[in-house]
Amino acid sequence: MLIKKILATIILHFLVIFILVIPKAVLAQEKGPPKPKEWKGSGEKIEFQSIPVITVKDFLTGKVPEKMQTIWGTLNFPANAPDKNVPVVVVLHGGGGIHGSEERWLNIFNSMGLATFMVDSNWPRRKCKETFKKAIPNCNDVHKGITRIVDARRALELLSKHPRIDPARIGCIGSSLGGIGCLYQSVKRFQKMWGAPGLEFAASVPMYPVCNFKYVEDDEMSDEPIRIHIGDLDQYGSAESCVKYVERLHLKGKDITVTVYPGVHHAFDAMSTGKDGPQTTFKQKGQFFSKCNFEENTDSSVLNEENLGEGFQQILTQVGFNEWLTSAEKKKIKKLFKWVKKGSKRGYVSPTIIFDRSCVTKVGTNKYDKEAAKKVTGLVKKFFTETLLN
């Protein structure tokens, strides 16, 4: 009997501890983004060919992968849409996948009488870490959003042949990495390399894209009007770099503007989707380069296997890198190259070289802003009304 009482007491204490402790652990796990899953919104799922996850270096040098990647989008027509000549908006999501922000825009556009084509760029490529084993989720550090550029071009080509779509009235909107797709798909160099040269979107809206990577010939763009929207506190991209990019494009006579929202963070247009539902603020730990500026470096006397190791992938160097090499201490240069070689050997695939890490931050904030969301909604609706509906 005594042994039974002791066992019963132990079990009771264990259950009390379980009840008190486990819910806290569960609650802790519920914070942050939800687990990835395939998005299944209403509409017709249409498959098309794009590229698998490839390195930025392969993308910029035009190295075509041996095998293409089948991805898909979901085409949804508004109620009472005609049988032909329907305008459509291609929607490109951010690094975390399709969530509340994208669904919000889909509902807005459909209610305006616009068809929508929600491209899923993540789920079809969910096995990318089998190739890039050291990559972060969705291999975002490997491709830096360049897959979205090809997805946008291939979606444009697909929809321009659809019997119900008006090929002259196809728009693009993208958030974060999707914003990179909507912005840089307009670069003629990338069009020639990766798809549908000669075709143009009728209008494009990059939402808080990354503009601090300067590519060769990135000011040679097609002629569609582009409207960028970004907060001045964005830690994933940089409002300042977007402003400077727009200024360069104005010199080329392009119809492009950037609206900067004071006191506003990344993903301001809708609440983030967490494990426990919508949340107004989500902070992410990592390496964030919004205060750093990079440029495509084609100097093979600097970027070579002797300095960076066999199979190096670094092709974007911090602005001023070549000049730094001529003045920096040999010890610092040797240390930097050794660090890059070590990372590459261990399987990390980074396209960037940073010699001054004072620009790097360790926390990225996603934060909904009600007033900014209301303003951007009005501006985007007005823009697509003028370019796609009138």
59-80 mean pLDDT: 97
What is the rounded (10 degree) CA torsion for 300, 304, 306, 312?
A: 170
The model's pTM is 0.90
| The pLDDT of residue 35 | 77
- Helix, coil or strand: residue 289: coil
126-130, 271-275, 326-330, 386-390: segment of lowest average pLDDT: 271-275
Q: Name the CA dihedral angle for 375, 239, 281, 285, rounded to a multiple of 10 degrees.
A: 170
33 CB neighbour count, 10 Å cutoff: 18
- Sequence-separated (6 or more) residues with CB below 8 Å from residue 275: 29, 30, 31, 32, 33, 34, 35
CATH 3.90.380.10 fits 44-279+368-389, yes or no: no
> Please, which pLDDT band fits residue 9 given cuts at 50, 70 and 90?
very low
Report whether pLDDT(30) > 50.
no
Query: Would you say the C-alpha torsion 328, 331, 335, 341 has a positive or negative sign?
Result: positive
Q: What are 176-186's pLDDT values in tens digits?
A: 999 999 999 99
- Contact predicate 256/219, CB 8 Å: no
Q: Find the helix or strand (DSSP H, E) in which 50 lies.
A: strand 44-50
28 confidence band (pLDDT: 50, 70, 90) = very low
**Hey, how many other C-beta atoms are within 10 angstroms of the C-beta on 377?**
15
CA angle 351, 134, 360 (to 5 degrees): 50
Instruction: State how far the Cα of 169 lies from the Cα of 85, in Å rounded to an integer.
Output: 8
- Radius of gyration, CA atoms only, the chain: 23
Question: How far does CA 121 lie from the centroid of its chain?
Answer: 10
Residues of the chain with CATH 3.40.50.1820: 44-279+368-389
Candidates 171, 179, 123; CA nearest to 148 is: 179
User: Distance from CA of residue 45 to its chain's centroid?
Assistant: 22
Percent of the chain surpassing pLDDT 70: 91
Q: Which helix (H) or strand (E) holds 8?
A: helix 2-30
**Count of all residues that appear for the chain in the document:** 390
Please list the residues that pair with 104 across neighbouring strands. none
**Number of alpha carbons in the 13 Å side-chain half-sphere of residue 341:** 14
Type of residue found at 298: T
Shortest CA distance to 59 belongs to which of 244, 206, 213, 228? 213
Backbone angle region of 388, left / alpha / beta, with phi > 0 → left and psi within -120 to 50 → alpha = alpha
Band of pLDDT at residue 168, cut at 50, 70 and 90: very high
Q: What is the DSSP string of 158-206?
A: HHTT-TTEEEEEEEEEEETHHHHHHHHTTBHHHHHHHS-TT---SEEEE
Neighbour-count burial for 295-333, b at 16+ CB within 10 Å, e otherwise: bbbeeeeebeeebbbeebbbbbbbbebeebbeeeeeeee
Question: CB–CB of 366/283 below 8 Å?
Answer: yes
Structure confidence at residue 37 (pLDDT): 85
The encoded tokens of residue 128 equal: 């990318």
pLDDT at 13 over 70: no
What's 226's DSSP letter? E
Average pLDDT, the chain: 91
